[in-house]
Chain A
């Protein structure tokens, strides 16, 4: 199921009762951040929010969309599935579509964002109802836009063109701060541009259909195209259009395309910003973007993402594109791996279900998770469960931990491994011990405990699940 643009996706959410339009007057702060936080606090089945009467903007014109993929029903609709699809089923659907990579792209030159062009007197605060998200953020941010750049050493390579999401501080009407970490593709592009003594052209595409936003957060290989992955995930060609100033390929359906360049050699104070760890990241000196051209739809919608203490929209959008690559990498070596749930704080904690080949096997798989690419910065706590425990069902996982896990035999602590520096427990920042909690049932030659008399489901339970599900509809 492919959505042409954000507006079409919002219409779909609306038809499914998953969009709330709020037209009473609100202030940019603290109302918008508070409303998004409140929705995440209340439920994991919550709606997207659309505000169209924001103080300082003409009613109906300055519009903000929040929490667009901020719940499991919205995530299912993003994939074109029934909104009640279970998380486990969404996981396997997502993993299956990944296999269709690379999908085709469709180049078009008639993008709706070509309606209005601004090259003089750019004021992003007038174009978009920018607002402070969390109380002690240093200012207004853009945090859900697709940032597009090319490799300055190989500018014609479509696969090396990167689409990623980076936090962007709006420092002035036409000047931004951006956070391209050295390990990110954008960081590599910037490094090469700076080695050449050149500024790095970028395009910032705001307000997109949800597939590219999801894919932009995936850990793809350096030369894999996010657009070709978005095509695979949505099961249809992905539409792209050349941005007028930079020639970068941007989504056809975007609301706003901001073009400019990262200034070579310049670093300026950025942050703090409330991060997905539930803590603020401190201030750092980071690269600066000068904006040269903005092209946009009339009355564009500013799509924004609330993040902070989990769970927030950030966790829903990253849940499966963190879990699925880990699953694929482990499965390649250990076919016994049944499913991976690495959706807690982007996989700082993960749960892996596996059929044990022999005693000690689950512990080995847990250690392997810590050494796959994502594991080098995450996977601080790994919980291993049997293959018939659904790792997305925390009631089942807690049951396994409470009755299968033996603290003496099933705790593996590995000292001084690498971790995301944003993990506030790491000490020094970026270094931590990691732990495996093995909650699988012991198998030979490890024979201990009393596990032979499991209470199974009564006969016909699966049929009754369907009967009752139908009656509840």
Chain B
């Protein structure tokens, strides 16, 4: 059953309030998946708290939304041919 107390508004990883429902279980009512459209972190309502709760998500895996645009692109986009 879906845990209705599970966090569905704040991204556990980047803290952005940019969360939406990604999908729900094919058998209705079993789980909901959420995704953060800022850092693309996703989680399922049935997962352990370490994955779903900003308070218990570990600091070393967190990310500051302000840093995302400056993360290196791999591979870099090559120039267009003329």
Q: Tell me the A residues contacting B by CB distance below 8 Å.
A: 27-30, 55-58, 62, 123, 125-126, 132, 135-136, 138-140, 169, 171-173, 177, 179-182, 187, 190-191, 194-197, 265, 267-270, 272, 280, 283-287
Contacts and interface: CB of A to CB of B under 8 A. Distances in A.
14 contacts: A30-B47, A55-B30, A57-B27, A58-B26, A58-B27, A135-B48, A136-B61, A139-B35, A173-B23, A187-B75, A194-B77, A194-B80, A283-B39, A285-B73
Contacts of B71: 269, 283-285
A139 B47 contact: no
A194 B46 contact: no
Contact of B40 (A57, A135, A267, A269): A269
B31 A55 contact: yes
Contacts of A268: 40
Interface string B48-82: 10110000001001010000100111111111110
Nearest to A140: B42
Contacts of B35: 139, 171-172
A286 B77 contact: no
Q: Which of B31, B51, B63, B71 has the most CB of A within 10 A?
A: B71
Contact of B80 (A140, A195, A284): A195
A196 B81 CA distance: 6
Nearest to A284: B74
Interface of B: 13, 22-23, 25-27, 30-31, 33, 35, 39-44, 46-48, 50-51, 58, 61, 63, 68, 71-81
Given A173-B22, A286-B73, 4 more contacts: A125-B33, A138-B39, A194-B77, A269-B68
A284 B40 contact: no
A287 B73 CA distance: 9
A138 B40 contact: yes
Given A56-B27, A195-B80, A270-B40, A172 B22 contact: yes
B48 A29 contact: yes
Q: Which 3 A-B pairs have the closest CB atoms?
A: A56-B25, A139-B42, A56-B30
A272 B61 contact: yes
A58 B27 CA distance: 7
Given A194-B78, A267-B73, A29 B51 contact: yes
Contacts of A182: 74-76
A177 B41 CA distance: 12
